């Protein structure tokens, strides 16, 4: 069993208690770690998607060392597009709107955590278990 499988098992069974947040977190971490087929393609590609959607200032606040700017569910939908957001929603059993809302809540913190000192890690250098453990408090663990 791989590191990601162990990390996902750590939060397994929590979807129903948290309106899909734990499952969505798992799917996002897998996507950021380039583990999700058809995903955005890792952290760098996700950041690029926000830049292309005209949300560079917001995503750069998460990468940088200053205060994280908030993002709305509509802006998440704008950056990810319906296809990617629907894949995440389908994988977690929640609506596309619910997925966007939850992502708006925790994606800034995830990206901030993954970019210490304002540096984006190279592809493949993300530890999914550490990310899930760091954010498991959102789900009562």
Please give the full DSSP string across 78-112, using - where no structure is assigned. Answer: HHHHHHHHHHHHHHHTS-HHHHHHHHHHHHHHHHH
In contact, 22 and 139? CB cutoff 8 Å: yes
Question: Total structural domains in the chain?
Answer: 1
pLDDT of residue 2: 41
Q: The domain that contains 72 carries what CATH number? A: 1.10.10.690
The values of phi and psi at residue 93, to 5°, are 75, 25
pLDDT averaged over the chain?
77
pLDDT digits (tens, 9 = 90+) for 110-134: 888 888 888 887 666 666 666 666 6
In contact, 59 and 47? CB cutoff 8 Å: yes
Residue 58 has pLDDT above 90, yes or no: yes
pLDDT of residue 13: 43
Q: Maximum CA pair distance of the chain? A: 40
Q: Which two tokens stand for residue 40?
A: 């955005």
pLDDT of residue 125: 65
pTM: 0.74
Query: Coil, helix or strand for 124?
Result: coil
Could you count the other beta carbons within 10 Å of the beta carbon of residue 84? 19
**What range does the domain containing 132 cover?**
3-139
Share of the chain above pLDDT 70, in %: 66
pLDDT digits (tens, 9 = 90+) for 70-112: 999 999 999 998 888 888 888 889 999 999 999 999 899 888 8
């Amino acid at each position: 069993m791989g590191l990601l499988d162990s990390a996902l098992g750590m939060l397994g069974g929590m979807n129903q208690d948290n309106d899909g947040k734990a499952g969505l977190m798992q799917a996002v971490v897998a996507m950021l770690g380039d583990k999700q087929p058809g995903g955005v393609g890792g952290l760098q590609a996700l950041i690029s998607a926000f830049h292309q959607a005209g949300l560079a200032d917001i995503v750069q606040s998460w990468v940088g060392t200053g205060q994280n700017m908030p993002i709305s569910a509509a802006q998440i939908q704008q950056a990810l597009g319906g296809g990617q957001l629907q894949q995440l929603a389908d994988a977690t059993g929640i609506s596309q709107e619910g997925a966007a809302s939850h992502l708006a809540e925790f994606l800034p913190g995830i990206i901030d955590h993954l970019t210490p000192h304002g540096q984006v890690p190279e592809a493949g250098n993300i530890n999914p278990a550490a990310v899930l453990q760091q954010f498991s408090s959102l789900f009562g663990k």
